[in-house]
Amino acid sequence: MTKELFWLTLTVVLTGLMWVPYVIDRIRVRGPAGAMANPTANDKPQHGWAMRLYFAHTNAVENLMIFAPLVLILDTLGVANHTTAAACAVYFWARLLHVVVYTAGIPVLRTIAFAIGFAAQVALVLAIFGWA
């Protein structure tokens, strides 16, 4: 397994587990039946941190749809190098930081973490086209 695929795998696992805490919060707030029911306007609201985690998870899924194909393209083309491996590692850590600070409600750090992840994606695009 290449380093890029390793970091992609960790990113997929991280993204795949983000929903667990906010669903547990939903069960605690609404009870098991309420958590499994269809959403309505009358639902008891979840805690603020859980809603922020929900939005962080949604953002992570949206960005995974960009990151994963880039890594797979790199792997298919065989253009992986130290820079692409570092960019993938940076992307993972930026996404982890993003979910933590978003859930904690720290807006400026959230934006910085997102921007770092975006910059890592740009580095992958540049590598694919041979511009880096």
pLDDT digits (tens, 9 = 90+) for 81-132: 999 999 999 999 999 999 999 999 999 999 999 999 999 999 999 999 999 7
130: helix, coil or strand? coil
Radius of gyration of the chain (CA): 17
The answer to the question of residue 122 being in a domain is: yes
pLDDT at 1: 95
pLDDT at 132: 75
Residue 34: CB atoms within 10 A of its CB come to: 14
pLDDT at 116: 98
The answer to the question of residue 42 being in a domain is: no
The answer to the question of residue 87 being in a domain is: yes
CATH of the domain at 71: 1.20.120.550
Which amino acid appears at position 128 of this protein? I
The answer to the question of residue 20 being in a domain is: yes
Number of domains, the chain: 1
Dig out the tokens for 58 from the structure.
């949604």
- Whether this model's pTM surpasses 0.85: yes
pLDDT at 94: 98
For the stretch 23-82, pLDDT in tens is: 999 999 999 999 999 989 999 999 999 999 999 999 999 999 999 999 999 999 999 999
Dig out the tokens for 87 from the structure.
């960019």
The answer to the question of residue 79 being in a domain is: yes
Structural domain span for residue 54: 3-37+47-128
The answer to the question of residue 59 being in a domain is: yes
The answer to the question of residue 113 being in a domain is: yes
> Pick from 19, 130, 117: which is nearest to 68 by CA?
117
Half-sphere exposure of 64 (CA within 13 A, CB side): 20
Query: To which residue do tokens 């994606």 refer?
Result: 121
The answer to the question of residue 105 being in a domain is: yes
Residues constituting the chain = 132
